[in-house]
């Protein structure tokens, strides 16, 4: 361990306290996202990987700080980080779809139990003294680099969707600030394992801030729902044509052709209704058409046969802004 004079120790302690405060802000920055998850009762497609990896990193840094003397400030902030990340993951497991929950549980067992246990076993059994600290230090550096690289998936999503909704500016800002503070702390402590990974953290944080500034005023790409066209037999087409002929002038027909539906602004709601025309030969397939009168199209579906009255009633009461493919 490198010996520090009184001034270096004072500055290192000061930067360590600042690092604790800033890192706490980093840990708390996803709160708006998880509040939205709680309010909507859905994760809306974002991944749990960054939170699982961050929890793993906090566990490793606590282990490292316990083996290395004079690193109490690393224990405090990473202990708090473990608690916060555990809460995030628990919320994700509650509101995520089943497949995402299973994947998250597998990552937790594999990474935070299996890999962490293996690292602890190797460092405690196969290494001793200062070598043990060095081995664990390089493991911590590798994991820290993966934590800083984890937001790359979010950056890719921002570029694809032209929306910064799931990449809050506060997270990127505090990531940069945290990297600067902890780099200074590591440099003053002459601890390369703390200083080195924060260089990459600074680079990724700046990249995220630049991306946010580039896309913050961009309109998200319009959502388009594509509905597969279902080929109908001739007698079903005839029923649909008869229903269209009976419809009042100015209303669209119940044809089998299905078009993509653009999500329009709320102030101009589209006149969209669902129609099902089931073929007698293959009652499992139901086609959906748009821009038609719900009652007329539900009647056409019932007349085609193969759809019971309950399904026809559901089709007649579908919301105007809904277009789906239905299996019965």
pLDDT of residue 26: 83
Chain-wide mean pLDDT for the chain?
A: 72
| pLDDT greater at residue 303 or residue 161 | 161
173 against 18, higher pLDDT: 18
Please state, in angstroms and rounded to a whole number, the distance separating the CA atoms of residues 312 and 197.
61
pLDDT on residue 171: 73
Q: Is the pLDDT of residue 272 over 60?
A: no
Is the pLDDT reported for residue 109 higher than 90? yes
Lowest mean pLDDT among 135-149, 198-212, 284-298: 284-298
What is the average pLDDT across 317-322? Answer: 44
pLDDT at 75 over 80: yes
**DSSP states along 252-308:** PP--S----EE---TTS---------B-SS-TTBB----SS-HHHHHHHHHHHSSS-
d(CA 249, CA 205): 60
pLDDT, position 160: 83
Report the candidate in 162, 147, 151, 146 with the shortest Cα–Cα distance to residue 208: 151
Read off the pLDDT band of 322 (50, 70, 90): very low
Token output for 310? 């309950």
Residue-level length of the chain:
328
Position 309 pLDDT exceeds 80 = no
Tokens (6 digits) for 317: 């009461």
Task: Give the pLDDT confidence of 11-64 residue by residue, as tens digits.
Answer: 889 999 999 999 998 888 888 889 999 999 998 878 888 899 889 999 999 999
The pLDDT assigned to 7 comes to: 81
More confident call, 76 vs 200: 76
Which has more confidence, 208 or 14?
Answer: 14
150-154, 172-176, 219-223, range with the lowest pLDDT: 219-223
Confidence of residue 290 (pLDDT cuts 50, 70, 90): very low
Query: Is the predicted pLDDT of residue 287 greater than 60, yes or no?
Result: no
Nearest 10 degrees: CA dihedral of 137, 139, 142, 147? -90
89 pLDDT above the threshold of 80: yes
Q: What are the boundaries of each domain within the chain?
A: 1-219
Q: Is the pLDDT of residue 304 over 90?
A: no
Average pLDDT score over residue span 259-267: 44
Instruction: Return the pLDDT at 64.
Output: 92
Residue 231 clears pLDDT 60, i.e. is over it = no
Out of 59-68, 89-98, 245-254, which region has the weakest mean confidence (pLDDT)? Answer: 245-254
pLDDT at 178: 87
Q: Which residues are 278's β-sheet partners?
A: 286
Which residue did the predictor score with more confidence, 194 or 154? 194
**Average pLDDT over every residue of 136-152:** 80
């Amino acid at each position: 361990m490198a010996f520090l004079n009184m001034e270096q120790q004072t500055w290192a302690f000061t930067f360590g306290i600042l690092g604790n405060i800033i890192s706490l802000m980093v840990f708390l920055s996803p709160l708006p996202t998880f509040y939205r998850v709680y309010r909507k009762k859905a994760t809306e497609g974002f991944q749990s990987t960054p939170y699982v990896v961050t929890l793993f990193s906090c566990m490793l840094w606590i282990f490292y700080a316990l083996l290395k003397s004079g690193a109490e400030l690393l224990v405090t902030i990473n202990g708090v980080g473990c608690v916060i990340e555990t809460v995030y993951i628990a919320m994700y497991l509650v509101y995520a779809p089943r497949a995402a929950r299973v994947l998250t549980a597998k990552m937790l067992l594999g990474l935070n139990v299996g890999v962490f246990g293996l690292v602890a076993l190797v460092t405690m059994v196969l290494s001793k003294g200062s070598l043990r600290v060095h081995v664990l230090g390089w493991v911590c550096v590798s994991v820290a680099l993966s934590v800083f690289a984890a937001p790359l998936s979010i950056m890719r999503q921002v570029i694809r969707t032209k929306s910064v909704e799931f990449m809050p500016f506060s997270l990127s800002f505090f990531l940069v600030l945290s990297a600067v503070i902890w780099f200074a702390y590591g440099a003053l402590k002459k601890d390369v394992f703390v200083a080195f990974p924060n260089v990459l953290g600074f680079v990724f944080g700046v990249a995220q801030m630049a991306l946010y500034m580039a896309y913050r005023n961009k309109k998200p790409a319009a959502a388009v729902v594509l509905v597969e066209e279902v080929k109908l037999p001739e007698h079903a087409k005839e029923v649909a044509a008869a229903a269209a002929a009976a419809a009042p002038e100015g209303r669209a027909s119940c044809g089998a052709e299905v078009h993509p539906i653009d999500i329009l602004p709320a102030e101009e709601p589209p006149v969209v209704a669902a129609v099902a025309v089931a073929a007698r030969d293959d009652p499992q397939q139901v086609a959906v058409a748009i821009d038609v009168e719900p009652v007329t199209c539900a009647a056409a579906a019932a007349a085609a046969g193969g759809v019971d009255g309950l399904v026809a009633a559901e089709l007649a009461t579908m919301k105007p802004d809904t277009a789906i493919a239905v299996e019965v």
